[in-house]
Amino acid sequence: MTDVKNIRPAKKTKTAKTGSPAEIWDLRLYVAGQTEKSILAFSNLKRIAEEHLAGRYRIEVVDVTKNPQLARNDQIIALPTLVRKLPPPMRKIIGDLSKTERVLIGLDIKPGQK
Amino acid sequence: MAARKTVRRSGTFSEHKPEETLLKAHTGIKGFDEITFGGLPQGRPALIVGGAGSGKTVFGMEFLVRGALQFGETGVFMSFEETESDLVKNFDSIGFNLNDLMARKLLFIDFVYIERKEIEETGEFDLDGLFVRLESAINEIGAKRVVLDTLEALFSGFTNEAVLRAELRRLFRWLKEKGVTVVITSERGIHTLTRCGLEEYVADCVILLDTRMEEQIATRRLRIIKYRGSKHGSNEYPFLIDENGISIMPITSLRLDYRVSRDRIPTGIERLDNMLSGGYYRGSSILVSGTPGTGKSTLAASFARATCRRGVRCLYYSFEESPDQIIRNMNSVGIDLESCIKGGLLRFHTDRPSLHGLEMHLLTMYKEIEEFQPESVVVDPISNLITVGTPLETRSTLTRLIDFLKSSQTTSLFTSLTAAGENLESTEVGISSLMDTWILLRDIEIGGERNRGLYVLKSRGMAHSNQIREFIVTDKGIQLLDVYTGPGGVLTGSARLAQEAKEKARALSRQQEIELNRREIERRRQGLESQIAALRARFEAEKERLETISAQERTSEEQLAEERNTMARKRKAD
C-alpha cells in the first residue's frame, strides 16, 4: 500500500556510492510461518533490495517455528525481524518493513537525515 | 475470622464443586506456602512486584528450583536482565546448582537480550519470536512452571506500546491456555503498582516485595496484595535471603490454640524449683527482669546448664556478650557451660542487636530454632532487641516469636533489663503479659549495701511462693536464702547477718537466764528440803527424848505402884 510513495529512482545512484560493488549484503528475515505479516515483510524486503542493492544481496528466510534455537542465537523476540548479517556491524530491524524510509535507515542503506 | 475462612476453604475443597477448586503450585519457599495456604495459583500467572534488589529474581528462581527438586515440576526461566552465566554464578552463592539442573533437563534458562539501539521499528510486528522461544523451551523439558524476569524490559525495547500491550495480553492468555504456573517479576512503579502497569494483565495473584530502611536498618518484607479465589495472610511478612534461599516467617498465622504441657522442668536452682512448686512448665515463657547487675544472666545460665544436664538442647541468644565471655563469667560462679557446648547440647548465637532489624533477628531465631530443635531457648537480654524496633513492631513480633516457641513446646527464658529508677514492674512494651512466669530480681538497699532479692511476681497455673528470697551468687552457683523479715522490716546482706547475730545473742542470754532461774529454784528446793530434813531430825530427836521421858515416867509409876503395894503388904492392908 505504501509502495507508490517509496519509489524514488534518484536514490539509486546514491546507494551505489555507499557500498562497494563487490560487497555482498547478507540479509536474514525471521518469520513465524506463512502469516500475512511474514509474506508482506518478505515482499517489502524483496522490493527494497531490488531497488537499492540489485545484484549484491542475499536473502535467507528463517522460520523460527521450525528452528527456535536460531531465534535464541540471534536474540529474536519480535517478528518479523530482519537482520543484516553482512556487511558488519550486525543490524536488526523489526516489523513488516512497510515503512521503507525506516528500513533504509535501519539497514544503513541511506544515511540518516541531515 | 480464621474460623470463618476455614469454613469457606473447606467448602472450596469439597468434592461437590470441583470447578471451584483452586489448585496450588507449591513453591517450596520456606514459609510462603503456609501464608498462601499452598503456594501460587496453579496454571495461572502470579506477579511479583518489587524494587531493585528486593529479591524478585531469587523468588522466581527458587520457585523453579524447588519445583524441580521437590515437586517434580520442571521450569523455564526467561531472563530479560541477567545472562545465563550470571544467573549460574549468582545462584551458586545460595546453594543452587543451576548448571546441574540444566544438564538434567529440569531447568531451562533463556536469556532475552533487548537493546533498543539495535531495533528499528518498520511497521507491524508481534512478539511471536518470544512465544516461539518460550514454547519450544517449555516443550523441550516438559515445563510446568515459567518465570519471566523482568518482563518490563520489553517496554524499554519497543516504542510501539499499543502493540506491546496487545501482545502481553495475548501472552498471558496463551500461558493460561498452556496451563503453566507463571511468575512474572516486575519493577515497582511510582504512581502505579508496577512501572508499566503489568498488574492490568495479571489479576490472579499479586505479591509485593519490599525492602525498607528504618533507622539505618534494612528489613525485607513480603505482602500478598491480592490472591483471587484463595484465602491468604494479609500481613506484611519479613523474610530473609541467605544461603538457603528465601525464608519467610509466617508467625502471624499462628493462633492461640497450642497444646500446653503439664511437665515441669528444673530451673537450675533448687529453691526456685520449690518456690514454683516444682519448676517451670515445659513450653512456657519466662521473663526474668531486673535492674543492672541483679544476676539475670546468671539465672539464665543456670537454666541453660540445667537443661543441658538433662541431656537436651538449649539455644542461647546473647545480645550483649560474646560466648567466651559468658563461659568465663559463668565459670567463675561455678556454672560450667563449656562442657555443654562440647557435648553439642548448648549453642550460642551472638549478634549485635543493631546488626539487623528486629524482624530479621526474629527470623534468624526462627530459622535456627527450626534447625537446632532446642528444648529451651534463652534470650539474653530481650530488652536490647526491643531498642531496634518501634514499640508496635516490637510487640507484634515478640508475640509472634512467643507463639511460635509455645506451639513448638520450646521453653523460653527472656531476660529484660529495667533501667534503674524505673518502675520495676513495668517492662518495655508490656511484654510481661505474654509471659507465663515472671521472676523479678531487684536490689535491696539497706545499711549502705546492695543485695539481690528474687521473687516470683507471677506464675500462671501453679502455686508459687510469695516470699522474697535473698539471692546470692556463690562460686557454686546461685543460692537462695530466706530474707530476714521481722519487726525491723526486710533485711538482707550484712544487715541480715547482723540482725541474725543480734537475735542469736538475745536468744542466748535468754537461755542463760532461764538456766539461772532453773538452778536457783533447784537450790531453793534443795535448801527447803534440807531445812525440812533438819526439822524432821529435830522432831525425831525430840520425839525420842519425849518417848524416853514417858518411858521413864511409866517405869517410875510402876515402881511407885510396886512400892505402894509393897508398903501395903508390909502394913498388911487389905
pLDDT of residue B257: 65
B29 in a structural domain: yes
Q: To the nearest 5 percent, what fractions of chain B are helix, strand and coil?
A: 45, 25, 30
B79 and B183 both lie in a single domain:
yes
B149 and B231 housed in the same domain: yes
- C-alpha to C-alpha distance for B296 and B442, rounded to whole angstroms: 10
The C-alpha of A97 sits at a distance from chain B's nearest C-alpha, in angstroms, of: 5
| Mean pLDDT across B363-368 | 81
Q: Above 70 in pLDDT, residue B425?
A: no
Number of structural domains found in chain B: 3
Is pLDDT above 50 for B487?
yes
Confidence of residue A109 (pLDDT cuts 50, 70, 90): confident
- Residue B193 buriedness (CB in 10 A; 0-12 / 13-18 / 19+): middle
B109-119 average pLDDT score: 82
> Do B276 and B459 touch, CB atoms closer than 8 A?
yes
**Together in a domain, B329 and B361:** yes
ipTM above 0.95, yes or no: no
Residue B572 burial (10 A CB sphere; 0-12, 13-18, 19+) = exposed
Query: For residue B316, which of B406, B223, B414, B446 has the smallest C-alpha distance?
Result: B414
Q: How far is B102 from B335, CA to CA, in rounded Å?
A: 54
Whole-angstrom distance, CA of residue B180 vs CA of residue B140: 14
Instruction: Return the pLDDT at B293.
Output: 79
Q: Alpha-carbon distance B118 to A82, whole Å?
A: 11
Grid cell at residue B508: 542466748
At B496-547, the pLDDT tens digits run: 777 778 888 888 899 999 999 999 999 999 999 999 999 999 999 999 999 9
Residue of A45, A62, A94 best to disrupt the B interface, most CBs of B under 10 A: A94
What is residue B107's DSSP assignment? E
Answer yes or no: are the C-beta atoms of B338 and B328 closer than 8 Å: no
Please give the C-alpha separations between residue A61 and each of A35, A36, A84, B128, in angstroms, as whole numbers: 13, 15, 12, 15
- CB < 8 Å to A96, chain B: 122-125
A72 lies in some domain: yes
How many Cβ pairs closer than 8 A exist between chain A and B? 97
Max Cα separation, chain B? Answer: 203
Least confident range from A95-109, B96-110, B352-366: namely B352-366
Cβ <8 Å between A102 and B120: yes
pLDDT class of B432 with cuts at 50, 70, 90: confident
Q: What's the grid cell of residue B51?
A: 524494587
> First CA to last CA across chain A, in angstroms?
27
Cell representation of residue B416: 529484660
Q: Indicate if the pLDDT at residue B420 is higher than 80.
A: no
CB-CB under 8 Å, B136 with A37: no
Instruction: Please give the full DSSP string across A34-82, using - where no structure is assigned.
Output: S-HHHHHHHHHHHHHHHHHSTTSEEEEEEETTT-HHHHHHTT--SBSEE
Residue type, B101: L
Q: Comparing A50-59, B61-70, B211-220, B483-492, which segment has the lowest mean pLDDT?
A: B483-492
Q: Which of B120, B130, B133 sits opposite A105 (nearest CB)?
A: B120
Q: Residue A64: its chain B contacts at CB < 8 A?
A: 128-129, 132-133
Which residues of chain A does B132 touch, with a Cβ-Cβ cutoff of 8 Å?
32, 64-65, 68, 71
Nearest to B433 by CA among B421, B416, B410: B416
Nearest to B122 among A68, A76, A93 (CB): A93
B464 and B574 part of one domain: no
**Domain holding B299: CATH number?**
3.40.50.300
Out of A30, A72, A102, name the one closest to residue B121 (CB).
A102
- Determine whether B51 is exposed, middle or buried from the number of CB atoms within 10 Å of its CB (0-12, 13-18, 19+): middle
Same domain, B486 and B449: yes
- Does A7 fall in a domain? no
| pLDDT band of B11, cuts 50, 70, 90 | very low
SS3 B256: coil
Considering A34-38, B382-386, B433-437, the range whose residues carry the highest mean pLDDT is: A34-38
pLDDT confidence of B110, banded at 50, 70, 90? very high
For residues B324 and B87, what is the distance between their CA atoms, to the nearest angstrom? Answer: 40
Residue B85: other Cβ atoms inside 10 A:
12
The last residue of a domain, from among B195, B221, B253? B253
Number of domains making up chain A: 1
Mean pLDDT of chain A: 77
- B110 and B214 part of one domain: yes
CA B24 to CA B1: how far, in whole Å?
A: 22
Of the candidate ranges B71-75, B121-125, B204-208, B285-289, the one whose mean pLDDT is the lowest: B121-125
Mean pLDDT for all residues in chain B: 82
What pLDDT does B67 receive? 93
Domain boundary among B496, B531, B549: B496
Report if residue B6 sits inside a domain.
no
Q: Examine residue B294 and state whether it is found in any structural domain, yes or no.
A: yes
CATH number where A31 lies: 3.40.30.10
Structural domain includes residue B18: no
Q: Beta strands of B275-372 (E only): which ranges?
A: 280-281, 285-290, 314-318, 346-350
Please, what is the Cα angle at B277 between B274 and B283, to 5 degrees?
Answer: 110
> Taking 90 as the threshold, does the pLDDT of residue B68 lie above it?
yes
Residue ending a domain, among B187, B221, B253, is: B253
Instruction: Check whether B181 has a pLDDT greater than 90.
Output: yes
CB atoms within 10 A of CB B86: 12
Complete DSSP assignment for B38-71: SSEETTSEEEEEE-TTSSHHHHHHHHHHHHHHHS
Q: How far apart are the CA of A71 and the nearest CA of chain B, in angstroms?
A: 7
How far is Cα B182 from Cα B143, in angstroms, rounded to an integer?
A: 11
**In a domain? residue B382:** yes
The residues on B that touch A, with CB distances below 8 Å, are 110, 112-114, 118-133, 135-137, 154, 157-158
Assigned domain for B17 exists: no
CA trace torsion B174, B179, B183, B186 (10° rounding) = 20
**Domain co-membership, B459 together with B518:** no
The secondary structure of B458-497 as a DSSP string is EETTS------EEEEEEBTEEEEEEPEEETTEEE-HHHHH
B216 and B288 housed in the same domain: no
- For residue B123, list chain A residues with Cβ-Cβ distance below 8 A: 41, 44, 95-99, 102
pLDDT number for residue A7: 36
How far is Cα B198 from Cα B202, in angstroms, rounded to an integer? Answer: 7
Q: 3-state SS string over B112-129?
A: CCCCHHHEEECCCCECHH
DSSP bridge pairs for B140: none
DSSP-derived letter for residue A24 is: P
DSSP bridge pairs for B49 = B186, B208
Measured between alpha carbons, how far is residue B198 from residues B112, B113, B171 in Å? 19, 20, 12
**Predicted confidence band at B71 (pLDDT cuts at 50, 70, 90)?**
very high
Judge whether A15 lies within some domain: no
Is A4 contained in some domain? no
Same domain, B90 and B144: yes
Domain that holds residue A31: 24-106
Provide the 10 A C-beta neighbour count for residue B188. Answer: 17
Tell me how far apart the alpha carbons of residues B40 and B428 are, in angstroms, rounded to a whole number: 39
Does residue A18 belong to any structural domain of this protein? no
The beta-strand segments (E) located in B198-252 are 205-214, 217-227, 236-242, 245-248
Q: Which residues of A touch B (CB under 8 A)?
A: 30, 32, 37, 40-41, 44, 64-65, 68-69, 71-72, 75-82, 90-99, 102-103, 105-106
Subunit contact A77:B112, Cβ cutoff 8 A: yes
Residue-level pLDDT at A16: 42
B10 in any annotated domain: no
Least confident of B145-154, B261-270, B475-484, B554-563: B475-484
Name residue, grid cell 537461755: B511
Q: Name the least confident of B111-125, B349-363, B541-555.
A: B349-363
Domain containing B175 equals: 23-253
Max mean pLDDT range (A1-5, B81-85, B212-216, B440-444): B81-85
B168 and B99: one domain? yes
Q: What does the angle CA B4 – CA B5 – CA B8 come to, to the nearest 5 degrees?
A: 95
